[in-house]
A and B are shown apart, each in its own frame.
Chain A
Amino acid sequence: DAGVIQSPRHEVTEMGQEVTLRCKPISGHNSLFWYRQTMMRGLELLIYFNNNVPIDDSGMPEDRFSAKMPNASFSTLKIQPSEPRDSAVYFCASSQRLAGGINEQFFGPGTRLTVL
């Protein structure tokens, strides 16, 4: 398996523009997570999907952020309009929910977003 795939790897945009980040989870995994990482705030969970359904979006910073998972093999995180404070590395992770313990999350390589 190729692991979790994220695109683009780097994105530079101007304030006010729409940004769409993409993620392909590992085949067979039924849980998908979007995280954001900055030096100031560390690694923050934005939203969690289970079986394509958003379960917890309490980490989504504000209405400018939205995430979708139309099927088991694809998810998007959209920021509209983007702001300089959204600059961060965005990670997508997937896992197979099993009984007992914290299911191992497999992280993608991340998308480094810079909003000018």
Chain B
Amino acid sequence: LAKTTQPISMDSYEGQEVNITCSHNNIATNDYITWYQQFPSQGPRFIIQGYKTKVTNEVASLFIPADRKSSTLSLPRVSLSDTAVYYCLVGDSYSGGYQKVTFGTGTKLQVIP
């Protein structure tokens, strides 16, 4: 399984764009990159997934360079409610015959008024 490395914590002011970068040097050809968000006292929630280049949805954008050894989650104009832990996961749904992903330590984002 590809290991991921991401900053332990980040602070940002309300209204700013936040970029969280995840390193995954050993990513395999079939691996996808997925981000989850976890609020206190709740289970993680899927945000976005991508394989290469750029993916955008109503919540965030995911930028993946050509070598795919890293990825950046971009949150536009964060608000206080975006304060959460963000996890970067790498894996493939058919790896080893089934889906196995590992949640790393995550990045704790604190949005400041």
Residue ranges of A at the interface with B (Cβ–Cβ < 8 Å): 4, 31, 35, 42-45, 48, 50, 55-56, 91, 93, 95, 97-110
Contact = CB atoms under 8 A, between A and B. Distances in A.
A43 B93 contact: no
A29 to B, nearest CB: 12
Tell me the interface secondary structure of chain B in the complex: loop
B93 A102 contact: yes
Interface string B17-55: 000000000000000101000000111111001010000
B98 A56 contact: yes
Contact of A110 (B43, B49, B104): B43
Interface of B: 32, 34, 41-46, 49, 51, 87, 89, 91-94, 97-106
Which has the most chain B C-beta neighbours within 10 Å: A31, A56, A101, A109?
A101
A110 B42 contact: yes
B105 A42 contact: yes
A97 B94 CA distance: 9
B91 A107 contact: no
Given A101-B49, A103-B93, A108 B99 contact: no
